[in-house]
Amino acid sequence: MSKLLVCGGAGFIGSTFVRQRLLEHGDEVTVLDKLTYAGREENLKDLADHASFRFRRGAIEDPAAVSGAIEASSCEAILNFAAETHVDRSIAEPDAFVKTHALGTYVLLEAARAQSLRYLQVSTDEVYGSIDVGTFTEESPLKPSSPYSATKTGADLLVQSYVHTYGLSAVICRGSNNYGPYQHPEKLIPLMVLNALHGDPLPVYGDGLQTRNWIHCTDFARAIGHVLEHGQDGEVYNAGGPDEETNLEVVNRIIELTGSDSRVEHVIDRPGHDRRYSLSSEKVRALGWSPRVRFGEGLSETVDWYRDNAWWWEPIRSGEYRAYYERQYGRSLA
């Protein structure tokens, strides 16, 4: 049993990780989360009364909030899921990305260094940029293309500098595109599922032939736990999903699964859009992890979850998200 401080634990993957660690590993978990538009206590609703769970609202760039959370939790490790995560928002308004990824990661690293805590940085395949053929390994050059991925790359480099310079016990785990329950509807899969359920058009950027390497959020969360427990200091571990699909393939599967009459609408492409992501996971597989959920099965369960959990997405789809959608897509939701 471990005591963990999970920063960004009210988000999509963070809340999945918290659920796993509380229910499957018997850890004590404290979440520190700023509750941005993407962070929601509803994501942790089923865990709120768990005896080993605590929630604290606070920003990772706030040293007092971080030291208060470390002290109150007596944690042995800090995991940093906290981030601004939507590429389109990073193109429209990059400032929060710089602040959270650069300053926030720095504050957490300083706190981990001061208390000699283990540190895990949650990162992304987007740090490697786009790859037409083949697959990225941990040795691939870093070539991020958006303000989101560039600031995530900067955070990774800062983590590695703390291992090299101060001997911090830190590891980095880079995931490919996650999907599953509790993902904010700004992202491709929940956006398309909810639009399909409401009869809204399905806005596919450009030709829709961009390829993503899909991993179920429970598989990525298990990889993160595995790297925390077995990863070597200073090492990076990629965790890629078992399946690659073009965006059009994904959207057509969603149309089929929802039985919707919604139509694909090709809209103006994302500036600097990465064509393909693909991650080799050999290194983390050698530690004993492998993905369990294939995309076909995982997507079908995910569609069912959104269909059955209107309580979760209705407040989002009727709130600020509508204004975001109009700004991003130039039209309103039904």
Alpha helix (H) residue ranges in the chain: 12-24, 63-73, 87-92, 95-98, 105-115, 147-166, 188-198, 217-230, 247-258, 282-285, 295-308, 310-317, 320-329
Nearest residue (CB) to ligand DAU, 126 versus 243: 126
Contact track, ligand DAU, 9-28, x by CB under 6 A: --------------------
223 is a site residue for ligand DAU (CB under 6 A): no
122 binds, among ligand DAU, ligand NAD, none (CB under 5 to 8 A by kind): ligand NAD
Q: What are phi and psi of 313, to 5 degrees?
A: -95, -20
13 binds, among ligand DAU, ligand NAD, none (CB under 5 to 8 A by kind): ligand NAD
Catalytic amino acids?
125-126, 148
Nearest residue (CB) to ligand NAD, 60 versus 257: 60
212 binds, among ligand DAU, ligand NAD, none (CB under 5 to 8 A by kind): ligand DAU
Nearest residue (CB) to ligand DAU, 28 versus 33: 33
Nearest residue (CB) to ligand DAU, 20 versus 238: 238
CB 78 within 8 A of CB 117: yes
Among candidates 240, 226, 220, which has minimal Cα distance to 176? Answer: 240
Spell 91-103 as b/e; 16+ CB within 10 A means b.
Answer: beebebbbebbee
| CA angle (120, 188, 226) in 5-degree steps | 25
Residue count, binding to ligand DAU (CB under 6 A)? 19
Handedness of CA 165, 100, 18, 87 (dihedral sign): negative
203 binds, among ligand NAD, ligand DAU, none (CB under 5 to 8 A by kind): ligand DAU
CB 2 within 8 A of CB 8: no
Type and span of the H or E element at 25:
none
Contact track, ligand DAU, 194-213, x by CB under 6 A: ---------xxx----x-x-
- How far is Cα of residue 46 from the mean position of the Cα atoms in its chain? 20
Residues 7-36 that bind ligand NAD (CB under 6 A): 7-8, 10-14, 33-36
Residues 298-327 that bind ligand NAD (CB under 6 A): none
Smallest distance, Å, CB 61 to ligand DAU? 19
**Residue 129, Ramachandran bin (φ over 0: left; ψ between -120 and 50: alpha; else beta):** left
Among candidates 313, 166, 189, 316, which has minimal Cα distance to 251? Answer: 189
DSSP labels for 248-286?
HHHHHHHHHHHT----EEEEPPPTT---B--B--HHHHT
Could you give the CA distance from residue 184 to residue 182 in angstroms, rounded to a whole number?
6
274 is a site residue for ligand NAD (CB under 6 A): no
| Contacting residue, 75, 122, 171, 191, with ligand NAD by CB under 6 A | 122
Contact track, ligand DAU, 124-163, x by CB under 6 A: xxx-------------------------------------
187 is a site residue for ligand DAU (CB under 6 A): yes
Amino acid letter at 264?
V
Nearest residue (CB) to ligand NAD, 155 versus 257: 155
Local structure of 236: helix, strand or coil: strand
Residues 137-166 that bind ligand NAD (CB under 6 A): 152
CB 262 within 8 A of CB 200: yes
The residues of the shown chain that bind ligand NAD, judged by CB under 6 A, are: 7-8, 10-14, 33-36, 38-39, 59-61, 81-85, 100, 104, 122, 124, 152, 175, 177-178, 184
The residues of the shown chain that bind ligand DAU, judged by CB under 6 A, are: 85-87, 124-126, 176-177, 187-188, 191, 203-205, 210, 212, 247, 270, 277
